[in-house]
Amino acid sequence: MKALCTLTAAATLALAIPAHAEFALDSRFTDADGDLIADIPSDAAQQVDPDTLIFAYTPVEDPAVYAEVWQGFLDHMAEVTGKDVQFFPVQSNAAQIEAMRAGRLHVAGFNTGSNPLAVACAGFRPFAMMAAEDGSFGYEMEIITYPDSGIDSIEAIKGKQMAFTSETSNSGFKAPSAILSAEFGMSAGADFEPVFSGAHDNSILGVANKDYPAAAIANSVKARMIEREVVTPDQLVTLYTSETFPTTGYGTAYNLTPELQESIQEAFFSFDWEGSALAEEFSKSGEEKFIPITFQEDWAVIRTIDEATGVVYACE
């Protein structure tokens, strides 16, 4: 299948990062209120009200595990909206974005880095994010290796292989590319061999199993994998930790009816986390509730990284 949405990055990073990144939606969308997300169509004939809502969580190594984690929440969404709700396991960020752009995906959690691409190309309208009980949120990008890898610093990655997740990922590609260039004068191809694992858990397992000498990952994913005993702390060594970034953003397709979008939001913010499978899984990385967010404010740092690294969005 031809990719509808692609992302490219320039080879180098300008050291002076601009305060505000330019951002534009695909021509099929409008943004009359200037909030940087697609407006709901004013023509009711262009709005959709499906009998079954399709939900997808950001790609993970084993989607079946997360289908079970999300089931209680999806049952709650079904009760609030009056719709059947199905979990859609996606294998890649590109497939998730294409599904929403094509109208096959109605509600989703897009990872940090692919959020802007989903907003620009697929009409994604993010409104929620997971947070701690005190409202704090976020994760850090880490560059990791394994004990006795011979890599004891970022500079020691030179001449070796380094794993990224995908080009749409913030912590799995865009942020580490910017940091490696700006802080260490290192770029893929010239200083190390880049490889792509497809997901953070793949990269973490790859390092733990010594398949990759180094990898860039989200430490929230690492925390959950350690808690589930998929990997152990002594299998991994952290070489670098970034500033804090926003986590997965949850939202809807732009062309759902206003009433349906409101009821979906209600489902997120009225969900009782206590004793749920969602709480059991995500409390491992300190997340215990949904909080409201805006793409315009909360993703400003990510759009700045995109602009600084020369990222452009192509929606075909």
pLDDT digits 0-9 by tens, 176-215 = 999 999 899 999 999 999 999 999 999 999 999 999 999 9
Sheet order of strands, 215-218 included: 193-196, 161-164, 215-218, 139-145, 237-245
What does the pLDDT read at residue 307?
83
Q: What is the dihedral of CA 224, 229, 231, 235, to 10 degrees?
A: 110
Tokens of 204: 């973490």
Burial class (CB in 10 A: 0-12, 13-18, 19+), 259: exposed
Closest by CA to 170, choosing from 60, 305, 297, 18, is: 305
- The predicted-structure confidence for 133-157, as pLDDT tens digits, reads as follows 999 998 899 999 999 999 999 999 9
Q: Is the pLDDT of residue 301 over 90?
A: no
- The answer for residues whose C-beta is within 8 angstroms of residue 310's C-beta and 6 or more apart is 8, 9, 10, 11, 12, 13
What domains, with CATH codes, occur in the chain? 5-136+247-315 (3.40.190.10), 139-245 (3.40.190.10)
For residue 10, what pLDDT is reported? 31
| Dihedral angle sign, alpha carbons of residues 57, 61, 67, 72 | negative
Other beta carbons within 10 Å of 291: 17
Q: pLDDT-derived band of residue 22, with 50, 70 and 90 as boundaries?
A: low
Q: pLDDT at position 308, please? A: 76
Q: What is the pLDDT of residues 29-59, one digit of tens each?
A: 999 999 999 999 999 999 999 999 999 999 8
Task: Give me the percent of the chain exceeding a pLDDT of 90.
Answer: 78
